[in-house]
Amino acid sequence: MFILNTTYITTKNNITAWKNWLKEEAFAESIAFRTPDFRVYRIDHAADEDQVSFAVQFSFENMAMLDLFQEELELIHQNSLARRFGAQCLFFMTVLSHEKI
């Protein structure tokens, strides 16, 4: 199991618009890609009262599917987010894999 985790940070004024973008564009494309398992988490921290962070996670059975997803949709998401929010919404991506201990 692999998880593509994208952490977004935006202003509190943009939360509703960001959630709409996520539903209208990011999730719609992901569903079309047949990525059934995605989750959204709010990151709780008090570093800046004007900003809020979210983690969006897409799960994949294997690395090949994750790589294909990134090749097909990552640039589309980045451009769409930049057009809609400019520098008011930043993000970074990490790939997580399950580690048995």
Structural domain count, the chain? 1
Q: What pLDDT does residue 73 have? A: 78
Query: Which CATH number does the domain housing residue 12 bear?
Result: 3.30.70.100
Q: What pLDDT does residue 19 have? A: 92
Q: What pLDDT does residue 36 have? A: 58
Q: What pLDDT does residue 69 have? A: 83
Confidence of residue 33 (pLDDT cuts 50, 70, 90): low
The mean pLDDT of the chain is 85
Q: pLDDT tens digit string along 50-78?
A: 889 999 998 888 899 888 888 877 888 88
Q: What pLDDT does residue 46 have? A: 61
Q: Which residues contact 1 (CB under 8 A, 6 or more apart)?
A: 59, 60, 61, 97, 98
Torsion of CA 51, 80, 7, 57, to 10 degrees: 130
User: Residue 47 sits in which domain range?
Assistant: 2-97
Q: What pLDDT does residue 74 have? A: 81
